[in-house]
Each structure stands twice: as structure tokens, then as C-alpha cells.
Structure 1
Amino acid sequence: MPWINEGGNGGSWKPGNGGPWGQKPSAPPPDFEEFLRRGQDKLKQWMPGGGSVGARGLLALVLIGAIIWLLSGFYTVGPNEVGLNKIFGRYTGKTGPGLNYNLPFPVGAVQKLQVTNRNAINIGFGARQDIRATGAQIQVDLPEESLMLTGDENIADVKFVVIWQIDPVRPEDYAFNIANQRETVKAVAESAMREVIGRSQIQRILTAERKVIEPAVQELMQKILNEYKAGILILQVQLQSVDPPEQVIAAFRDVTAAQQDQNRLRNEAEAYANRVVPEARGKAAATVQEAEGYRLQTVAEATGQASRFSQIYEQYKKAPDVTRQRIYLETMERVFGGMDKVIVDQGGAQGQGVLPYLPLNALTARPADGARK
């Protein structure tokens, strides 16, 4: 039903037959009336025939407005972002980097998440600006977060940093499944660290197990967040410091130094044992081999002498006198062979009993010795 313009009534609009709902509408504010009047004048300029605003004019306005509204649904997603499309608040899908489209407000909405950015959360300490220096920050300890009970009922002061990011595969879980995502990650990190510290002893935490704690906490955090369907990836857990409480830190350092000295002395003793024991074993093996060689040599000599005696005895039984004389002569030769000798002939014709002896071997050996000198 067309609307009729009564110019004599201050430019106000009245329905021709009581309005489309059978009621007389109230007069709009003056500013709105002026806006409608100017819009009507401009519309008349390009409408065919320049006539009054009718159903076609309203339809054209609606179409133009609808086109502008639909075109406003285009949006751009950055290279490090993921867009989450929603229709009437309900999640309908995600979009990657580039130009994308979703129905505009109030029907649709887009939530952009920076899925490649790395976020860090400090546990056990914080930072605040130093009022004495412009722009400088100082570390502030938070004992309510850092003090943890160990498995042997001691207290450890643990400060660490958690590095995390939004899961690019499931960013909708991050956006819709949990609230206060940063606080949730912090609470899970503190809980996981307390559980891991509660299974360890204070001395191992301060010395050997520091590198074991980090992956254990990271794995436990990821498991808990996956159960929450939080859409968060834990990239790294970094221990900043693991110390006893400040009141007893000096005593613990003395104990740690003593343990280090103990380990050093143990290592030195093991190195000495590793050097001495092989030497002793080598000497023992050499002595055993020498004894075994001496035994074999002695047995062989004794066996040879026994065999030689048996052979001589066999010959002696065959010719006792000849064998006896031969043994005597060989013995005298062996005994007197290297000695100076004087031979006395008692049966000589002149009766002197002395036989001159010319040691030819000695005479031939002396000139040779003199030539060498």
C-alpha cells in the first residue's frame, strides 16, 4: 500500500488508509523526517518519470541496501591467522589466509585467531616496571606459584616458562571449548609441574633430573589439554631455576658441593683401579707364562737326560769296559777342556816325567786378541 505525502503537515508521512497495520503511526523525530525528505528528493531525480516514491522505489532501496550488506561480508585472513565463521553464533567452518566470505553482521560473524604466534607464560615469577628507571623491568618472585613439595617431603622453589601456541588443526576447540585460555594453560602448567616434582627427590631435582623434568611436564600438560579439547599445543617447557627455599639454600649448596666432591673422588678411584688392575693382571699373566715355560723346559731337559742315560745304559750292558772308558774320557775332556794343563809322563825314557805341552789354541788366539786391541 503506497504512502501519501502531505506537504502541508510539516513534511510528515501518513498512511493512505490508516497504515499497513491499521494504525496511525506516530510522527518521527524532526531529524529523521528531514533525512527521509532529502532521500525522497534525490530518489525522484533518477527514478523514471520523476514521480512520487512508490513500491518500486522502496524495492530499489531495499535491493541496494541488501547488495551493500552482502558485499560487507568479504574479509581478509592474514598469513598467520585462521578465520572461524559463525552464523547466528553457531560455528560453521574455518578459512585459511586470503580473501574469504561469510554472511555479515548481524547474521554472521568471523573470529580471527593467530595460530602461528608463540605465547609464553611465566610460572613462579613475573616482571614489573622499575619506578627508578624508565622502561626497565625487574623480576618479581611469586612464592605461591613456585614453592612445591617434593617426594621426600622437602620444598623446592621452581621457576619455569611454558611456550605454547594455538593448534592450527583445531583452532575451533581453542575458541569455543575453554574460556580464559591463558589462565587455563597457566593452571595446567602449575598442576603438571607439582605432580612431576611430587614424584622426585630434592637432591635429584637439584642435580641430575633437571633435564628429565622438562619433557615430563610438557607431555603431562599436552595430555591434560587434549582431554579438555583445548586446541592448544605445548611447544616447550623451560626450567629457569630449581633451588631450595631461600632460608636453607646455603646448606643445600654445601651438600651439593660435598656430593660433587664425592663423585669426583669416586671417579678418580675408579680411574686408578682401571689403570692398576689391568697392569696387575698383565704381570700375573706374564708370571704364569714364565713359570709354565720354565716347567716345560725343566721337564724337557729331565726327559732328555733320562733318555740319554737309558741309551748309555743300554750300550754299557753290551760293552761295559769300552763304555766305562769312553765315559771317563768324555768326562775328563769336559772337566779339563777349559783349564791350563801340565802333563806328567811317568814312563818317559829320561825319567824326567815332564812332557812339554804347546797350547796351540792359546797361541793362535793371542795374536788375534792383540790385533783387536
Structure 2
Amino acid sequence: MAWNEPGGGRDNDPWGGKNQGPPDLDEALKKLQEKLNTIFGGGNNSGGSGGGSSPAAALGGLGALLVLVLVAWGLFGFYQVDQQERAVVLRFGVYHDTVMPGLRWNPPLIDEVHVINVTKVRAAESRGQMLTEDENIVDISVSVQYTVSDPANFLLKVKSPELSLEHALESALRHVVGSSKMDQVITEGREQVAVDTQQRLQDYLVTYQSGILVAKVNIEDAQPPSQVQDAFDDVTRAKEDRERLKNEAEAYANGIIPEARGSAQRQLEEAQAYKEQVIAKAEGEAQRFAELHTEYKKSPRVTRERLYIDALEELYADSTKVMVEVEGGNNMLYLPLDKLLEQRSVSRPSGSQDIDIRELTDKVIEQLRRDSQISRREGR
């Protein structure tokens, strides 16, 4: 049965007491006020019969609370900006200032501070298939390194700077690759493609006022599609062979040309030396003939015999056998010069061969004279 039904009994009172009604609201408020007064330095009014708090005590407690709130508010406004950072201050949501490194203070709830690292090198990548100027498709992968040059523009001018950078990078790369041939993109022109892409990307970012400075653009990978990779490798190897053969030909030319020039120079110098030798010999012979002619005028007979003897000496020097026909007779005189020289060399010490030849020549001449005289006598 319900607590308020007849016969329900007094023990069923929901307020927890016997013969008690609902609690007094004024009494509850009074107890709450007394507790507040106790907390903020107030106390019960000794002169009042109702125990109420004085207005001065209530104002004092409110002032102390306000001071505590102001101190906490001021402390929350201090912050530190490191050397590699810059702080962008927004006042009531509007750009106010860019703060340099150091200990700074801005009023909380009024200013909003965004600290941005301006020295950290950030990275972004892009990869895709692109069409070259000669209508070939290449798979190219590129990475870019960048820093924040203007924190205010980086934070406020562009909604998503990183996403804008990726889109600008892809656009710049497609423009540069579309203006280059496949060989330039894949092989020897990759460095120039990276430089051109960096310049064009930076122009885009300046136009966007993104506050980003591009530090480096690297071509990570550039190759033809996998479907034509084998054919392209064959072309690459053929080009490498061509360059190798070209280098070998240049090396051979660099070796043979100096050698030919040296040989030509040697022949020229030998010809010049032979020319000088012939001229000097001719001049010497002419001088010798002039002196001999002078001597011949002085003594023709002696000079003539001396010339004859010298001629025979020169002739016999290269001969080992001499056949002499006797004038007016049928006999042939045989002179074994080699045997005679051997005998003379045995009988005489090895000295001057010129003396032996001269003596031998004199004997031959004497023998010829005798034979000539004998032939004349027989003819008579």
C-alpha cells in the first residue's frame, strides 16, 4: 500500500523521519550561505538573531576570487618561442603580428598564438606517368624539400599548404617533362629536369603566397613503362656501345695521330740532316778538288801517280781476287789478294792494312811493267 494510504503507518514517511514534512528550502539556502562565508573569511553574525552574513564579507570573497582568476589568466598568457620558430599572433581571429624568438606574452582568450618551425626541412613526393615531348610515356618519381619562409602566409593565405605544394609540384613536373624528350628525362637530362621543375614550382608557390621556399627537387626514379622496359634496355645498351666505340676510336686517334706527326717530323729532320750532309760533303769534295788541282799544277806526274795508287787502293780494299790481262799476250795474271794479305799479316804484326795494300799495289805495278817490257821484246 502507498505511504499516504490509511493505515500505511508513520514508518512509511519518505522524508526519513517521524512526523516530519518536506525540508524547509529557506533553511537549506541558509546553510549554503554559511558555508560560503566560512570559505571566504566570513562568519556567523553574532549580533543577529537570524545568523545571516554581512554584505561586506560577501564582496570581499568575490574580490579575492576575481584576483585569483586574473592571476591565472595572466599566467596562461606566457609562452616561449625557440630560435628555430616564429609565432603568428591572431587577435580576435585577425592577423596581428609575427613574433620573433624569446619569452613572450599575449592575453589569453583575446590573442591566438600559432608557433611554426621555419628551419625544419619538410618533404613532399609525387609520382605518376607523364607524356614527353616526343610522345613517349615515362614513370617518374620526384621528391621536394622545402622550408617555411613566411609563417603568416603559410598559416593564413592558403588553406592547406602541403596539399597545395603537392598539386603545384605535379603541375610543374608535368610541364617540364612535357617540354623534354624521353632521353633527357631518363638519362642525361635528369639534372636539368630537376632544376627546371624547382624553378617553376617556386614561381607557382610565390603566386599562391604560400610562404614556402623550395630548397631542392630530386628526381628519384625515371624509367619507361614496364611493358616496354626490355626494348628500352636494348636501346640503352646500343647507345652505351656507341659511346664506348666512339671513345675507343678517339683514344686510337689520339694515339696514332701524335705518332704519325712524330714520324713525319723525324723524316723531315732526317731529310734536313741528309741535305746538310750532302751539301757539306760536296763542299768538302769541291774544296779537296780545288786543293788537288793546285797541287797537280805544281807536280802533274807525282799527283797523277798518287791518284792512281789511291784508286787502286780503294778498289783492292773490297776485292779478294784480281785478274790482270797482260797487254800484247795471251796470259792472264791472277793475284790472290786475300792469301797475300793473310801471309803479310802473319809475317808482320797486325798494324796498318793501308801499308800492306800500298806495298802490294807497288808490286803489282812493277809486275805489270815487267810483263809489258817482256811482251814488247817478244814482239820485236
Same fold per TM (> 0.5)? yes
| Structure 2: gaps spanning 5 or more residues | 1-24, 47-52, 323-339, 353-380
Cα distance change, pair 39–160 in 1 and its aligned pair in 2 (3 A) = farther
Aligned equivalents of 1:367 and 1:303: distance in 2?
A: 33
Tell me if 1:269 matches 2:263.
no
Q: Is the 8 A contact 1:165 1:233 kept in 2?
A: yes
**3-state DSSP class of the match of 1:116?**
coil
Aligned equivalents of 2:167 and 2:99: distance in 1?
A: 31
**3-state DSSP class of the match of 1:223?**
helix
Cα distance change, pair 328–220 in 1 and its aligned pair in 2 (3 A) = farther
Aligned equivalents of 1:74 and 1:174: distance in 2?
A: 24
Partner of 1:297 in structure 2? 277
Aligned equivalents of 2:173 and 2:321: distance in 1?
A: 105
Aligned equivalents of 2:116 and 2:174: distance in 1?
A: 31
Instruction: Write out per-residue CA displacement over residues 228-259 of structure 1, whole angstroms, 9 at most, x where no aligned residue.
Output: 33221223222221011222222111111111
Tell me if 1:328 matches 2:312.
no
Give matches, 1:288-367, under 5 Å: 288-316=268-296, 318-319=297-298, 322-336=299-313, 363-366=347-350
Tell me if 1:103 matches 2:107.
yes
Which structure carries more helix by proportion? 2
Aligned equivalents of 2:186 and 2:304: distance in 1?
A: 90
Partner of 1:117 in structure 2? 120
Letter in 2 for 1:224: Y
**3-state DSSP class of the match of 2:55?**
coil
The percent of aligned pairs where both chains have the same amino acid is 31
Which segment is superposed worse, 66-75 or 236-245? 66-75
Partner of 1:220 in structure 2? 200
Partner of 2:20 in structure 1? none
Which segment is superposed worse, 184-193 or 213-222? 213-222
Partner of 2:39 in structure 1? 42
The two structures have a TM-score, normalised by structure 1, of 0.68
Q: Is the 8 A contact 1:155 1:245 kept in 2?
A: yes
- How far residue 112 of structure 1 moved from its aligned partner, in angstroms, is 1.6
Aligned equivalents of 1:328 and 1:367: distance in 2?
A: 25
Aligned equivalents of 1:160 and 1:194: distance in 2?
A: 11
Partner of 1:88 in structure 2? 92
Cα distance change, pair 324–215 in 1 and its aligned pair in 2 (3 A) = farther
Which segment is superposed worse, 79-88 or 240-249? 79-88
Aligned equivalents of 1:186 and 1:233: distance in 2?
A: 14
The two structures have a TM-score, normalised by structure 2, of 0.67
Cα distance change, pair 159–326 in 1 and its aligned pair in 2 (3 A) = same
Letter in 1 for 2:239: Q
Q: Is the 8 A contact 1:174 1:230 kept in 2?
A: yes
Aligned pair count? 299
**3-state DSSP class of the match of 2:42?**
helix
| Structure 1: gaps spanning 5 or more residues | 1-6, 13-33, 125-145, 343-356, 369-373
- How far residue 367 of structure 1 moved from its aligned partner, in angstroms, is 9.7
Which segment is superposed worse, 179-188 or 109-118? 109-118
Tell me if 1:67 matches 2:49.
no
- How far residue 67 of structure 1 moved from its aligned partner, in angstroms, is 3.2
Q: Is the 8 A contact 1:44 1:51 kept in 2?
A: no
Tell me if 1:155 matches 2:132.
no
Tell me if 1:165 matches 2:147.
yes
Aligned equivalents of 1:341 and 1:239: distance in 2?
A: 93
Q: Is the 8 A contact 2:295 2:303 kept in 1?
A: no
Aligned equivalents of 1:153 and 1:37: distance in 2?
A: 90
Letter in 1 for 2:130: M
Cα distance change, pair 172–38 in 1 and its aligned pair in 2 (3 A) = farther
**3-state DSSP class of the match of 1:365?**
coil
Cα distance change, pair 172–323 in 1 and its aligned pair in 2 (3 A) = farther
- How far residue 61 of structure 1 moved from its aligned partner, in angstroms, is 4.3
**3-state DSSP class of the match of 1:282?**
helix
**3-state DSSP class of the match of 1:91?**
strand
Instruction: Write out per-residue CA displacement over residues 105-149 of structure 1, whole angstroms, 9 at most, x where no aligned residue.
Output: 1x111112233333222211xxxxxxxxxxxxxxxxxxxxx1122
**3-state DSSP class of the match of 2:169?**
helix
- How far residue 203 of structure 1 moved from its aligned partner, in angstroms, is 1.4
Cα distance change, pair 86–367 in 1 and its aligned pair in 2 (3 A) = closer
- How far residue 294 of structure 1 moved from its aligned partner, in angstroms, is 1.0
Based on CA coordinates, which of the two structures has the bigger radius of gyration?
A: 2
Q: Is the 8 A contact 1:87 1:103 kept in 2?
A: no
- How far residue 163 of structure 1 moved from its aligned partner, in angstroms, is 2.0
- How far residue 291 of structure 1 moved from its aligned partner, in angstroms, is 1.5
Aligned equivalents of 1:290 and 1:308: distance in 2?
A: 26
Aligned equivalents of 1:306 and 1:180: distance in 2?
A: 106
